[in-house]
A and B are shown apart, each in its own frame.
Chain A
Amino acid sequence: MRPAFSSYKTALLFALLLLAVLLSPILVGKNLLPPREQAYSIQGWGNGPYPWIRNQIFEETNDIDIAIVGSSHIWNALNTPYVQAALSKKLGRPAVVRTICWGGAGYDGLYLITQDLLAHRRVRLLVFYDENPGPGSHTAALPAFFRFADNAAALPGLSLSDSALYYFAAVVGMPRNLLSLARPNLPAPLVTDRPNYWTTYASSPNPALQLGCLTVGKGFAANANSDSAPFEPFHPQTDAQPADAVVFAVATATNFSFAAGPLPAWQTHFARHFAAFLKAHNVYATMLYLPALAEARSPVILERANWPDILNGATLLGIPPAKLFGSLTDAELHKIYGDPVHFSANGQAYFTQLITPELINLYEKQVAH
């Protein structure tokens, strides 16, 4: 059998190459990484409206009254122009409400993107939701966002396996980072002649034209691979009122049920980092419960954990699903949801008008003027 290497020198070169690749996140310090903005410029629209997110973090500079941040659940749930109009009316001045959301839950992505947001813009109230059912559901764009030289300080406290996962994300992202240093990526335009990705994919207006939110104009699909039903405009008639919104407290605890099982350690780790970071920046945080279709008949708000405890006293707000949906039939619920976990345009309009008064109430109570 021929030897793998013709000489020990070629073997040595191969060993050094392996070593350089594996150590690249450590060897490439901050000075050799491209500007952080490039982590966003390399993203397209498909994994989330990253051109819009980049624009909001790195180009816009004004203060944000309410930032709606998180993964697709909350991206689909709130109609940002409605919230902004309502807050402007209440404050008697033009308010600034922005949705900065993406596809794929994972508290790691929530922490890293919020870090970038708060490094560039002042946010008064941050409304977020990033719950997901999968224990291994890390933010898909982690190789772009986790850069060892920038984010290594977030690793202590994680297990070796979890730390290795983030380190490897930095290894995977390194070629793209070095390429971005040699040849910076231009940001994708927010508006083009061709329909936006989300117009084609979800029959939604371009998120960049509605303050970042996604309004899905498709009927119900049981899963990502099944066809959507035809979209029918639907205005639910229920007894639900804005006053049905509840904030978690001792007096309201009977409206909430927290599962006792442990969370994946990395989720708790990044959730705690996220909360600590918000506190350090004097940002008020409200976690907004969004029911999945499977929870629609629940009389209480179901969460995987006692989030106010994990999130260092952050507000947990929601409407118990049984009150939110009242006596709506299963067929009517399918007109509210675009799939089992996301609202369609019908659900977004319905939920937004019910929850907005309490969001404004929290803004007025929590944010010092």
Chain B
Amino acid sequence: MRNKSLIEQIIYALIVVLSLVAVWLVLNAPANFLNARVVYQGF
């Protein structure tokens, strides 16, 4: 398996960090933010 270049390592680290931030944002939010049925019901 070839070694990853520095740029590749930075890109993968960025993906990991951004994914962790996204997961934290989701877990930090109340469930009703993501429940489209609640937010947009009753048309």
Contact = CB atoms under 8 A, between A and B. Distances in A.
A234 interface: no
A284 B40 CA distance: 33
- 10 nearest interchain CB pairs? A46-B42, A46-B41, A44-B43, A44-B42, A18-B18, A168-B25, A45-B42, A140-B32, A8-B8, A197-B42
Contacts of B18: 15, 18-19, 22
Contacts of A172: 29, 33-34
A11 B8 contact: yes
A43 B40 contact: yes
Given A136-B30, A197-B42, 18 more contacts: A8-B7, A11-B12, A12-B11, A15-B15, A44-B42, A46-B43, A47-B40, A104-B32, A138-B32, A140-B32, A161-B28, A164-B24, A165-B30, A168-B33, A169-B29, A172-B33, A172-B34, A188-B43
> Which secondary structure characterizes the binding site on chain A?
helix
Given A15-B14, A19-B18, A22-B21, A164 B40 contact: no
Given A15-B11, A168-B29, A47 B42 contact: yes
Interface stretch (A141-149, A213-221, A241-249): A141-149
Nearest to A42: B40
A42 B42 CA distance: 11
Interface of A: 8, 11-12, 14-15, 18-19, 21-22, 42-47, 104, 136-138, 140-144, 161, 164-165, 167-169, 171-172, 188, 197
Interface string B19-39: 101101110111011100011
16 contacts: A8-B8, A8-B11, A12-B11, A18-B18, A18-B22, A22-B21, A44-B40, A44-B42, A45-B43, A46-B43, A47-B38, A140-B32, A168-B25, A168-B28, A172-B29, A172-B33
Contacts, number: 76
B5 interface: yes
A22 B15 contact: no
Nearest to B40: A44
B34 to A, nearest CB: 7
A21 B33 CA distance: 16
B37 to A, nearest CB: 9
**Interface size band for B:** 20 to 34
A108 to B, nearest CB: 11
Contacts of A46: 41-43
B15 to A, nearest CB: 5
Contact of A165 (B12, B29, B34, B40): B29
Contacts of B38: 47, 140
A12 B11 CA distance: 6
Contacts of B29: 165, 168-169, 172
B30 A138 contact: yes
Given A143-B33, A164-B25, A168-B26, A11 B15 contact: yes
Nearest to B4: A8
Contacts of B11: 8, 11-12, 15
A70 B32 CA distance: 19
A8 B9 CA distance: 9
Given A11-B11, A15-B11, A18-B19, A142 B40 contact: no
Contacts of A143: 33, 39
A140 B38 CA distance: 7
A63 to B, nearest CB: 30
A8 B42 contact: no
A138 B18 CA distance: 25
Contacts of A45: 42-43
